[in-house]
Chain A
Amino acid sequence: MKFTSLLATAAMALGLATGAMAEDKTKVGFVYVGPVGDGGWTYEHNQGRLAVEEHFGDKVETVFVESVPEGPDAERVMTQMALEGADLIFTTSFGYMDPTINVAKKFPKVKFEHATGYKQAENVSVYSARFYEGRAVQGTIAGRMTKSNIVGYIGSYPIPEVIRGINSAFIHARKVNPDVQFKIVWAYTWFDPAKEADAAKVLIEQGADVILQHTDSTAPQAAAQAAGNVITFGQASDMAEYAPLPRVSSIIDNWAPYYIARTQAVMDGTWTSTSTWDGIGPGMVGIGEISDAVPAEVKAEALALKDAIASGAYHPFTGPLKKQDGSDWLAEGETADDGTLAGMNFYVEGIEGDIPN
């Protein structure tokens, strides 16, 4: 009994000591939904974390927890990080939204940054990338490249971010190929290579020769490669190991500049709750090298679209556009406002099927 209490005291003293020592370092925590080796979404967030370490060197200490399920577990992980003295915590998946808000309430002095959500608080910022801008480029290539006119799309969860991507890709595929059809499969997971591979195989069996994915692993790329004559796009990360075929291009998330800027703000004491939504222009969304499997004129067309989006000359959601039920959404020349995009819960005209609730 005495021995254990002695141990406990020693442990506490040690904890206090290290706590005091860590005082002058800024501690930044990251909560990941998948493993850092997923080759996609989480991999890129971790690259951002490493960039923060590199940039600040000794002035910063980073911690991360990977494969944290969305739900109560996430709350525990965040609470633990806050208790261990994190000054800034990035929670990098949509499903961490409510847990982040809940934990933030309990730790008013800790700053939180939630990716891809829409709930802000005094000490909770939100940030996301305009992936739909990249989807427009993918849609253009997909529409030009498909021979069967069937494009398969692996969705994760039916949330606005994913629906936006489907709409953007579809609009631009239709623009260059009026006969194109989308087949959409919801995997109900962000990361499950076996299931993602199954979904890709099913779509290919049903005639798709282009696979777009909004899940995090490279499994659909491998499935497409095994099937042959199918093209894919890297998601979140370049996935260049599958280039030049099946992967013909990619959307690359570049979080590093944002993570560095926000860490700097915490160090300077200038951090405020903000909502950031950047796209191709500011560099948060990158378009991976378009491979030689794509004909030169299609590549030029896709790059022209990318430049137009980057310069702000063109908005991927520009009218005339109708909703799936045929009702008017955007008039000629009108562009979608951020509010509608952030909460997008409808398909545009031409997409078949219903969005799950």
Chain B
Amino acid sequence: MDLSAINPVLLVASLMVAATPLLLAAIGELVVERAGVLNLGVEGMMIVGAISGFAIAVETGSPWLGFIGAAVGGAILSLLFVVLTQVALANQVASGLALTLFGLGLSALMGQSYVGIKPPAMGKLDIPVLSDLPVVGPILFSHDLILYLGIALTAAVWWMLKYSRMGLILRAVGENHDAAHALGYKVIRIRILAILFGGACAGLGGAYISLIRVPQWTEGMTAGVGWIALALVVFASWKPWRALLGAYLFGGVTVIQLNLQAAGVAIPVEYLAMSPYVITILVLVILSADKSRAPASLGRIFHASH
């Protein structure tokens, strides 16, 4: 065992990178579920975002355009979900699952000619003095900007839900769509916007994997992150900061357990491998012991005539 081989600063820096795709997808889904819609298609929207972003970044040479393309790609795919569940009033669970399957297939098709290509590199934040500080520099001031966007988005969503009128309306729609409708709010329109936002966030998360974390395109490369994001939203009791905590915990324990393995720590590897799931669930379940609960209209179909 040689714990000195683990560099804690690099470890914290890399856990933030590992957590970001999960965080982006979870924040998007959180808004969707707060509006009373259960979209199980996160994985599909992520992978479509991953390839849209990758393809656009490669073609234009700009990772920024890539990320914008990824958000648009994820949102366009979520439009399919909108049509199915908000217009055709189909079952949300089935539609979401279909969206994931469709997204996986579509992304494989779109990615045919992008296997083995290197994407343009994303610039990292480099503030003179601050980025060069020991310890604090590598952890806080030398990441790519999308990572900060993830944190900013969490703060924005938290503020929006808690303090803004828009957040109040969104929550009203999610808690009781009939009452919201009676008050004159456009339930369907609000939900559509929330779903599009969720799709864009999932797309960003997917592109973060294909453009920054790995960076390459491989079929099926999101490998289940979307499902973890879905679970995270539930365990985070639909609260943005808890989702951030959960994402960082999950990303953190994943990176730490790999580090411990490489350093030869005498903990059985099976326990290490399952630790990200166990620890994240445990912490969030303990936190959710307060009276938080799911939005009351979650997953229910709304039609003005009912």
What is A's interface to B at a CB cutoff of 8 Å?
34-39, 67, 152, 158, 183-186, 188-189, 191-195, 197-199, 201-203, 205-207, 217-219, 222-223, 225-226, 241-242, 352-354, 356-357
Whether B118 pairs with A37 at a CB distance below 8 angstroms is: no
Q: Mark interface residues in B261-274 (1 if CB within 8 Å of A CB, else 0).
A: 11110101110010
**Other contacts beyond A217-B221, A218-B216, A223-B214: 5, CB < 8 A:** A38-B220, A191-B220, A193-B216, A194-B223, A222-B118
A34 vs B137: C-alpha distance in the bound complex, in angstroms? Answer: 39
Whether B264 pairs with A38 at a CB distance below 8 angstroms is: no
Whether B270 pairs with A357 at a CB distance below 8 angstroms is: yes
Whether A225 pairs with B118 at a CB distance below 8 angstroms is: yes
Q: Mark interface residues in B27-57 (1 if CB within 8 Å of A CB, else 0).
A: 0000000000000000000000000000000
Given contacts A36-B219, A193-B214, contact A218 B116 (CB under 8 A): yes
Interface positions, chain B 110-149, Cβ under 8 Å from A, are 111-112, 115-118
Given contacts A194-B225, A206-B6, contact A34 B259 (CB under 8 A): no
Inside 8 A of A218's CB, which chain B residues have their CB? Answer: 116, 216, 218
Q: Which of A198, A219, A223 contacts B254 (CB 8 A)?
A: A198
B70 to chain A, nearest CB (A): 16
B290 to chain A, nearest CB (A): 33
28 contacts between A and B (CB under 8 A): A34-B220, A35-B220, A38-B220, A39-B116, A183-B262, A183-B263, A183-B264, A185-B258, A185-B262, A186-B269, A191-B220, A192-B224, A193-B221, A193-B223, A194-B214, A194-B221, A194-B225, A198-B14, A205-B7, A205-B259, A206-B5, A206-B7, A207-B5, A217-B218, A217-B221, A219-B214, A226-B215, A356-B270
Inside 8 A of B108's CB, which chain A residues have their CB? Answer: 35, 37
Whether A184 pairs with B261 at a CB distance below 8 angstroms is: yes
Inside 8 A of A152's CB, which chain B residues have their CB? Answer: 262
With both beta carbons as reference points, the residue of chain B lying nearest to A226 in the complex is identified as B215
Inside 8 A of B255's CB, which chain A residues have their CB? Answer: 198, 202
Interface positions, chain B 218-274, Cβ under 8 Å from A, are 218-225, 254-255, 258-259, 261-264, 266, 268-270, 273
Q: Which of B116, B214, B219, B269 contacts A197 (CB 8 A)?
A: B214
A38 vs B214: C-alpha distance in the bound complex, in angstroms? Answer: 14
Whether A352 pairs with B264 at a CB distance below 8 angstroms is: yes
Q: Is B213 an interface residue (CB 8 A)?
A: yes
Whether B219 pairs with A38 at a CB distance below 8 angstroms is: yes
A210 to chain B, nearest CB (A): 14
Nearest 10 CB-CB pairings of A with B: A35-B219, A241-B116, A356-B269, A37-B219, A192-B223, A193-B221, A202-B258, A188-B273, A222-B216, A206-B5
A347 to chain B, nearest CB (A): 12
Whether B215 pairs with A201 at a CB distance below 8 angstroms is: no
A192 vs B261: C-alpha distance in the bound complex, in angstroms? Answer: 18
With both beta carbons as reference points, the residue of chain B lying nearest to A186 in the complex is identified as B269
Whether B216 pairs with A219 at a CB distance below 8 angstroms is: yes
With both beta carbons as reference points, the residue of chain A lying nearest to B265 in the complex is identified as A353
Inside 8 A of B10's CB, which chain A residues have their CB? Answer: 205
Q: Is B295 an interface residue (CB 8 A)?
A: no
Inside 8 A of A193's CB, which chain B residues have their CB? Answer: 209, 214, 216, 218, 221, 223
B160 to chain A, nearest CB (A): 29
Given contacts A38-B219, A241-B116, contact A353 B213 (CB under 8 A): no
Q: Is B73 an interface residue (CB 8 A)?
A: no
Q: Is B96 an interface residue (CB 8 A)?
A: no
Given contacts A195-B223, A205-B10, A207-B5, contact A357 B218 (CB under 8 A): no
A356 vs B115: C-alpha distance in the bound complex, in angstroms? Answer: 33
Whether B213 pairs with A194 at a CB distance below 8 angstroms is: yes
Given contacts A37-B219, A202-B259, A205-B10, contact A197 B213 (CB under 8 A): yes
A99 vs B154: C-alpha distance in the bound complex, in angstroms? Answer: 44
Whether A201 pairs with B219 at a CB distance below 8 angstroms is: no
Q: Is B18 an interface residue (CB 8 A)?
A: yes
Given contacts A193-B214, A197-B214, A206-B5, contact A37 B111 (CB under 8 A): yes
A188 vs B255: C-alpha distance in the bound complex, in angstroms? Answer: 14
Given contacts A38-B218, A39-B116, A219-B214, contact A186 B259 (CB under 8 A): no
Inside 8 A of A352's CB, which chain B residues have their CB? Answer: 264
Inside 8 A of A198's CB, which chain B residues have their CB? Answer: 14, 18, 254-255, 258
A234 to chain B, nearest CB (A): 11
Whether A199 pairs with B258 at a CB distance below 8 angstroms is: yes
Q: Is B21 an interface residue (CB 8 A)?
A: yes
Whether B215 pairs with A186 at a CB distance below 8 angstroms is: no
Given contacts A152-B262, A184-B261, A206-B262, contact A39 B115 (CB under 8 A): yes
A225 to chain B, nearest CB (A): 7
